[in-house]
Structure 1
């Protein structure tokens, strides 16, 4: 089964190498985007650049900020995974879930907290940017917001993460045009081979590893009954 998964993988490496200089420039420009700083209770207390939010300070601190992680499944129940390009500033060439990013203050409405509209708008925007999925294929009402996780990871000692991460599930068959400045590889993985598949996907991003090790398989087994797992009150610290 694992061999079949690997063969189904779409490598975008050639396109990525062809535009590596441009891809790096885009990543550096993105460091100027403004992320939302939050308290451990997920209350917005200000903004800071993406660069400031991911640089590991001399005392080991990393500013806590808001993020999201999308897990996109097709109608066969297979999960889309991606490999980040070597040009990514944080966690380059790491394997991760379908799409992960941040709501940003530069885009109006991504701070709206009622019904998590800001997060959902940001997820739509980023799925379009990273995977080329048109917005009409992924209407906001089709997203399932499950819970939030709070985690911290020192990364390579220079760039790390410290996030309140909103976990979003989405199931749809979509047309994609992956952005080679963001993604070097994608694959759809069946539930019954995820453990074997993960063994050959190294390194993993810390947020994906934590979710995979603690909750992913349980949620995946209940794609048709996610309501009982939704927790919009508590923040899971991992």
Structure 2
């Protein structure tokens, strides 16, 4: 099995190298490229997930639908599709760049740091689509109405990046109304 690599970034969000994902997440995690995805069905429900309890970083927290790291040379759209398939068994979603400039830094209870340029993508699917969660990645996956998603931001069991993303997403309206922000604001390290 090939070890997953992350793309390291400088302050201008340009790729400056790669590093092994597992060995890079610690108390001094380098700034790197990632993404978050919210799966929304055409009825406006959002797929909210609970991270697997065995995850090294932020185990058991409730968050958006999926997240991950584009591999070196992998376009953002391809990385999102790969993780949707691997984590949730979802294929064929329509993808929209929603918060291409999102970045954050968060520290877990054990001192592990996440420090990411993390564009946010909406994946739109038909209602009633099957979800086949990968238990190594996802403890639970549930379809929630938008109001319940907003309520989660005030709860300590939500991920820090979820709370920060929702602060930017909530003013955009309901998930199906989030405008397409386009590819231009994406970091130079990744194409759409």
CA shift for structure 1 position 71: 0.8
User: Comparing 149-158 with 66-75, which one deviates more in the overlay?
Assistant: 149-158
Q: Distance in 2 between matches of 1:224 and 1:42?
A: 28
Match for residue 64 of structure 1 among 18, 31, 42:
31
The within-5 A match list for 1:41-120 is 41-56=12-27, 61-105=28-72, 109-110=73-74, 118-120=75-77
Match for residue 133 of structure 1 among 71, 90, 93:
90
CA deviations 1:166-225 (Å, max 9, x no partner) are 1101211232211111111111111233333555x642211111111x212223426246
CA shift for structure 1 position 234: 7.7
The unaligned stretches of length 5 or more in structure 1 are 1-28, 111-117
* CA separation of 1:230 and 1:217: change in aligned 2, threshold 3 A: farther
CA deviations 1:134-176 (Å, max 9, x no partner) are 3xx22xxx21112221211121344220000011012112322
> Is 1:159 matched with 2:116?
no
Partner of 1:193: 148
The structure in which a higher percent of residues are strand is 2
Q: Distance in 2 between matches of 1:90 and 1:62?
A: 11
The unaligned stretches of length 5 or more in structure 2 are 188-192
Equivalent pairs counted in the alignment come to 184
Which protein shows a greater Rg?
1
- CA contact 2:40–2:175 (8 Å) conserved in 1: no
Aligned residue for 1:72, secondary structure, equals strand
CA shift for structure 1 position 231: 7.7
The Cα RMSD (Å) is 2.3
> Is 1:39 matched with 2:6?
no
